[in-house]
Chain A
Amino acid sequence: MKNKFITACVLASTTLFASGAYAADEVRVALLVKALGIGFFEAAYRGAEEARKELGDVEIIYTGPTSTTAEGQIEIINSLIAQRVDAIAVSANDADALVPSLKKAQQRGIKVISWDSGVGKAGRQIHLNPSSNSLIGEMNVQLAADAIKAKGKKSGTFAILSATPTSTNQNIWIGEMKKSLSKFSNLKLVDTVYGDDLADKSFREAMALIKNHPDLDVIVAPTTVGILAAAQAVSDLGLTGKVYVTGLGLPSELAGHVHSGAIHSFAIWNPIDLGYSATMLAYNLVKGKGTKTEVPMGRMGTLQLDKDGDGAMAKPFIYDASNVDEFSSIF
C-alpha cells in the first residue's frame, strides 16, 4: 500500500513536470475504456483517430485498465488528472464508483463525458447513448421493410420474436416499434412471441411462427439469442430467401447467416461512430462550442441533450453482406 502510494506520488510528480512540455494549443482528450484489448473499444479508438485527423489540433490518449474493474479506471482517472488532460471520455465499469474521482477531475477544469456505459449525473457533463429506444424501435421496423423490399414485394407481414415477456428493454423497443408502424403503411405485424432468450425455445417459437403464418415475410428479433435461433430455424426449414430474419445482433455472431441469406440485414451500434462522436463532443466542450441542449459532433450531426445531459447518437447502424465481414472481426 505504502509502496503503491509512493510510486503514485513519483508518477504524479514526473507527469506534472512533463506536462509542461506539451504544446498549449493542442487539446488532449483521454478515451478511457472498460478494458484494453476488447475489439469493440479498439474500434471506438479507430473512430477517435478519425476525429483527430479531421480536427487536427487534438491528441488522443487511448487508455484503460487490463481487466474491467472500476478500481483500475479510478487509478487511471487520478493519473489523468495529474497529467492535466483537457477532457476525459469514459465508458464506465461502474456507474457510481467513478463519480467521486470524475467530480475531482471536473473541479480541476477537465471536461468529462461518458459514452456507451454511463456514469451518474454528478460525475459527467454529457452522456452519449449509442441510440435511443425510439430510434431502435423505428430501426427494427425499417429493417423489416428493407427485407420485404429485398424479396421484391411492395407490402408484407412480419412477426416479432422477443426475449422473455418481462424483458424491460425488449418490451420498450416493441412498444416503440408499434408506434412507428404508422410510418410504414405497407407493413403488418401479425404476431409477437417470446423465446425467453433460450436457444431451444426461441428455435421452437420461430418454427411455430412460420407454421402458423404461412405468408410470413420477416421475423424481427431484437435480441441476440433470438435472432440466431430464428435464422437457424429458417435455414433448417429450407426457407432462406422466403422468410427473412432481422433485428439486433452482433456482426461476429451473424456473419454466417448474412452470407447464407437467412438474414438480409440487421442493426447494432457502430463502435467507430461512437468513438468518433465521443471525441468530437469532448473537443467541442473544451472549445466551448455547444449549449446545454445541443453539442455538435462532426459528421454525426448534433447531439440533442435532455435535462440530465443524456443524448442519443444515431439510429443503429445497418449491417449487410457488404460490410459485415469488416466488422465481424471487431465485435
Chain B
Amino acid sequence: MLRHFIYSREGVLSLIVLVMFFGVGAINPDFISLSNSISIFNDTSILIMLALGQMMVILTRCIDLSVAANVAFTGMVVAMVNRYFPDINMAFLILLSLLIGAFLGAINGLFVWLLKVPSIVITLGTMSIYRGSTFLLSDGAWVNSHQMSASFIALPRFEILSMPVLGWMAIAAIIIVFWAMKFSVWGRNFYSAGGNPMAAFYSGVNVGKVQFYAFLVSGTLAGLCGYLWVSRFAVAYVDVANGFELQVVAACVIGGISIVGGVGTVVGCVIGALFIGVVNNALPIIGVSPFWQMAISGLVIIIAVIANASSDKNKARIILRKSDESADSAQVN
C-alpha cells in the first residue's frame, strides 16, 4: 500500500512538495515551524477549495474559467449586503454566498448540458460577464473593512485548535469531496462521464447532467470562496482574484488531473494546490528578485508536471498486465 503510494503520481508530487518545503526550511528555519505551516495551509485554503471544484469539472472533460470572476461577484454581493445590513446573521450570509455561487455555476452548466456549447467558450464568456456585473453592481466602488461588520471579518479568522476556520473549511471540503468521489455513485459518474463518455452513455449515465453537476459544485465552492476571500483581505472590489482561475487550473494540472478528463484524485488535487501554496509563500521569504519570481513559479510547475507525467508513463500504456505483475498488483490492491 505504502509502496504503491510512493510510486504513484501523488507520491512523487508529495515528495517534490516536501523537498521544496524543507529546502526553504534549510534557508529559513522559521518557514517549517508548526505555526507557519498552519498559516501556509490557511493561505492555500481558498485555492484548495476552488481546485476541488475545478477538478470535478476537468474530470468531465470541461474547464471552468469563470471561477475567479464568480469569487469576485459573490464576494461583492455579500460584502454589499453586509454593508447595508450590518446586523445580518452570518449563517444567512454564507448560505447566500453558496446560493449565488451555485446559480452562477448552474448558468455555465446549463449551457454546457443543454446547448452543448464547449465549456471553454461559455466560461470565457461568463468570466467577463460576471466580472462586468461586479462592476455594474458596485459602480466601481470598493467595500472596505470599516464598512464590514465585525463578525463578517472575524468568522474565517476564528481559531479552533490553533487553526483558523478558513483552514477547517478547506479540510471539510476535502473530506466531503473525497468521500463523494470515492464512495458515491454520483461521484464515480464524474470519472465514467469523462473517461469514456460513450461507454458512460450506454451504461445509463447522462453525461451532460454530470457535467452540469460539476459546474454546479465548482460554482458553489467559488461562491463560498467569494465570501472567504473578501473577508480574509477585508476588501471587495472589481479586480478581486483577477487571473486566479489560472492558478486553480494549474493546481489541478500539477495534481495530476488529466486535462482530457477521467483521470485524477482528490489527494492529487490537494497536493497540487499545496504545491502552489508553498511556492507562493516561499518566494517572498527567500528573497527572490520579483523579475525572477514568475519565471521560477512557471519553471517549477513544468518540472512538477513532467515528473508527474513520467511517473506513470508505462502504466497507462499497458492494456493487458504481464502475468507476474498481476499477482503482485492484486495483492497491493
Where the two chains meet, the residues of A that have a C-beta atom closer than 8 Å to any C-beta of B are 164-165, 193-194, 197-201, 203-205, 207-209, 211-212, 228-229, 232, 236, 252-257, 259-260
Please indicate the chain A residues that have their CB under 8 angstroms from the CB of B145 in the complex.
Answer: 228, 232, 256-257, 260
Instruction: Give 5 CB contacts A-B under 8 Å.
Output: A194-B290, A200-B43, A228-B235, A253-B144, A259-B146
Q: How far is the CB of B301 from chain A (nearest CB, A)?
A: 16
B230, closest chain A residue (CB): A199
Q: What CA separation (Å) do A205 and B281 show in the bound complex?
A: 8
Q: Give the CA-CA distance A194 to B289 in the complex, in Å.
A: 9
Known pairs A211-B30, A212-B285, A232-B145; A199 contacts B233 (CB<8 A): yes
- The distance in angstroms between the C-alpha atoms of A260 and B242, with both chains bound, is 28
B284 within 8 A of A: yes
On whether the beta carbons of A199 and B284 are closer than 8 Å, the reply is no
Decide yes or no: A212 and B144 within 8 Å by CB, A200-B233, A229-B233 being known contacts.
no
Q: Evaluate contact between A205 and B242: CB separation under 8 angstroms.
A: no
Which residues of B does A touch, CB under 8 Å?
30, 39, 43, 142, 144-147, 157, 229, 232-235, 239-244, 280-281, 284-285, 287, 290-291
Q: Which residue of A lies closest to B43 (CB)?
A: A204
Which of B157, B241, B284 has a CB less than 8 Å from the CB of A208? B284
A193 touches B290 (CB 8 A): yes
CB contact under 8 A between A211 and B285, given known A194-B290, A204-B43, A228-B235: yes
If over half of B's interface residues share one DSSP class (helix, strand or loop), that class is named, otherwise mixed; here it is helix
Which of A197, A208, A254 has the most B CB atoms < 10 Å from its CB? A208
Q: Are A203 and B233 in contact (CB under 8 A)?
A: yes
A197 proximity list for chain B (CB < 8 A):
239
Complex alpha-carbon distance, A31 and B125, angstroms: 41
Q: Is the CB of B233 within 8 A of A253?
A: no
Which of B142, B244, B280, B287 is A204 in contact with, Cβ under 8 Å? B280
Chain A residue with the shortest CB-CB distance to B240: A199
- Distance of B186 from chain A, by nearest CB (Å): 32
> Is the Cβ of B157 less than 8 Å from the Cβ of A236?
yes
Minimum distance in angstroms from B80 CB to a CB of chain A: 15
Contacts of A205 in B (CB 8 A): 284
* 6 more CB-based (< 8 A) A-B contacts, given A193-B284, A212-B287, A256-B147: A198-B243, A204-B284, A207-B284, A228-B233, A232-B234, A256-B234
For the complex formed, measure the closest distance between the CB of A68 and the CB atoms of chain B, giving whole angstroms. Answer: 11
Q: In whole angstroms, what is the CA distance A228 to B148 when docked?
A: 14
Query: A residues within 8 A CB of B290?
Result: 164-165, 193-194
CB of B73 to closest CB in A, whole Å? 16
**In whole angstroms, what is the CA distance A232 to B235 when docked?**
9
**Chain B residues near A165 (CB, 8 Å)?**
290-291
Q: Give A205's nearest chain B residue, CB to CB.
A: B284
Bound-state CA distance A208–B142 (Å) is 26
Contacts of B146 in A (CB 8 A): 255-257, 259
Write the chain A residue with the least CB distance to B164: A236
Q: Which of B157, B229, B235, B241 has the most CB of A within 10 A?
A: B235
Give the docked Cα–Cα distance between A229 and B229 (Å).
12
Distance of A149 from chain B, by nearest CB (Å)? 25
User: Please, how many angstroms separate the alpha-carbon atoms of A285 and B28 in the complex?
Assistant: 62
Interchain CB contact (< 8 A) of B234 among A198, A201, A204, A228: A228
Nearest B-chain residue to A259, judged by Cβ = B146
Tell me how far the C-beta of A234 lies from the nearest C-beta in chain B, rounded to whole angstroms.
12
- With both chains docked as a complex, state the minimum distance between the C-beta of A204 and any C-beta of chain B, in angstroms: 6
B29 to chain A minimum Cβ distance, whole angstroms, is 12
Q: Nearest chain-B residue to A191 (Cβ)? A: B287
**Distance, CA A34 to CA B291, complexed state (A):** 37
B285 and A199 contact, CB distance less than 8 A:
no
Chain A residue at smallest Cβ distance from B143: A253
Residue of chain A at shortest CB distance from B147 = A256
How far is the CB of A319 from the nearest CB of chain B, in Å? 14
Query: CA A208 – CA B229 in complex, angstroms?
Result: 19
Residue of A nearest to B142 (CB): A253
Kindly name the residue among B142, B229, B234 whose own CB sees the greatest number of chain A CB atoms within 10 A: B234
Query: B233 and A255: CB pair below 8 A?
Result: no
Leading 10 A-B pairs by shortest Cβ distance:
A256-B146, A208-B284, A256-B145, A199-B233, A194-B290, A165-B290, A253-B144, A232-B234, A205-B284, A255-B146
A224 (CB) vs chain B CBs: closest residue: B142
- Residues of B within 8 Å of A229, CB to CB, are 233, 235
Q: How close is A303's CB to chain B, nearest CB, in angstroms?
A: 31
Q: In the complex, A82→B285 CA distance in Å?
A: 63
Given the known inter-chain contacts A198-B242, A236-B157, please indicate yes or no for A228 contacting B144, CB distance below 8 A. yes
Are B285 and A255 within 8 A (Cβ)?
no
A209 to B143, CA, bound (A): 26
In whole angstroms, how far apart are the Cα atoms of A254 and B234 in the complex? 11
Q: How far is the CA of A228 from the CA of B243 in the complex (A)?
A: 20
CA distance A205 to B285 in the complex (A): 8
Most buried by B among A197, A199, A256: A199
| Distance in angstroms between the alpha carbons of A253 and B242 in the assembled complex | 19
**How many Å lie between the Cα of A199 and that of B241 in the bound state?**
8
Closest to B277 in A: A204
Q: Is the CB of A256 within 8 A of B240?
A: no
Q: Closest residue of chain A to B280, judged by CB?
A: A204
A232 to B229, CA, bound (A): 13
**B43, B146, B244: which has the most chain A beta carbons within 10 Å?**
B146
CB pair B233–A232 under 8 Å, yes or no, is: yes
On whether the beta carbons of B235 and A204 are closer than 8 Å, the reply is no
Q: With both chains docked as a complex, state the minimum distance between the C-beta of B293 and any C-beta of chain A, in angstroms.
A: 8
> Quick one: which of B242, B281, B284 has the most chain A CB within 10 A?
B284
